[in-house]
Amino acid sequence: MLKRLQKTGIFVAITFSLSWGWFYLFSGVFKAGVNTSLFTVMATVYMFMPMLAAIIVQKFIYHKPLKEPLGISFKINRWFFVAWLLPIVLVFAALGMGLLMPGVEWSWEMEGMYIRFQENLSLEQIERMKVQTAALPLHPLWIGLLSGLVAGATINAVAGFGEELGWRGLLQKELGFLGFWRSSLLIGLIWGIWHTPIILQGYNYPQHPQAGVFYMVYFTMLYAPIFSYIRLKARSVIAPAILHGSLNATVALSFMTLKGGTDLSIGLTGLAGLLVLLLANIGLYIFDRFLAKEPVMAK
Mean pLDDT along residues 128-148: 91
Q: Are 252 and 88 in contact (CB under 8 A)?
A: no
d(C-alpha 171, C-alpha 190), whole Å: 10
The answer to whether residue 117 scores a pLDDT higher than 80 is no
> Which amino acid is residue 82, in one-letter code?
V
What size, in residues, is the chain? 299
> Which amino acid is residue 67, in one-letter code?
K
Taking only the tens place, the pLDDT of each residue in 185-211 is 999 999 999 999 999 999 999 899 999
Return all residues near 78 (Cβ < 8 A) that are at least 6 apart: none
- Mean pLDDT, the chain, rounded, equals 95
Domain ranges of the chain: 2-291
Q: What's residue 69's pLDDT?
A: 97
Residue 5's pLDDT band, with cuts at 50, 70 and 90, is very high
Q: What's residue 120's pLDDT?
A: 66
In three-state form (DSSP H/G/I as H, E/B as E, the rest C), the secondary structure along 25-61 is: HHHHHHCCCCCCHHHHHHHHHHHCHHHHHHHHHHHHH
Residue 119's pLDDT band, with cuts at 50, 70 and 90, is low
Mean pLDDT along residues 52-70: 97
Residue 134's pLDDT band, with cuts at 50, 70 and 90, is confident
d(C-alpha 272, C-alpha 116), whole Å: 17
Q: What's residue 142's pLDDT?
A: 96
Q: What's residue 299's pLDDT?
A: 64
Over its C-alpha atoms, the chain yields an Rg (Å, rounded) of: 19
Taking only the tens place, the pLDDT of each residue in 255-265 is 999 999 999 99
Q: What's residue 132's pLDDT?
A: 86
The answer to whether residue 273 scores a pLDDT higher than 70 is yes
Helix, strand and coil in the chain, % to nearest 5:
70, 0, 25
**Beta strands 258-259 and 105-106, pairing class:** antiparallel
Q: What's residue 154's pLDDT?
A: 98
Residues paired with 105 in a beta bridge: 259
Q: Are 64 and 234 in contact (CB under 8 A)?
A: no
Q: Are 85 and 153 in contact (CB under 8 A)?
A: no
Taking only the tens place, the pLDDT of each residue in 275-288 is 999 999 999 999 99
Taking only the tens place, the pLDDT of each residue in 26-53 is 999 988 888 788 999 999 999 999 999 9
What DSSP character marks residue 247? Answer: H
pTM of the model: 0.96
Q: What's residue 176's pLDDT?
A: 96
d(C-alpha 257, C-alpha 113), whole Å: 7
d(C-alpha 269, C-alpha 259), whole Å: 16
d(C-alpha 243, C-alpha 214), whole Å: 22
Mean pLDDT along residues 151-158: 98
Taking only the tens place, the pLDDT of each residue in 65-104 is 999 999 999 999 999 999 999 999 999 999 999 999 999 9
- List, as one string, the DSSP characters of 194-210: HTHHHHHTTSS-SS-HH
**Is the torsion defined by CA of 68, 73, 78, 80 positive or negative?**
positive
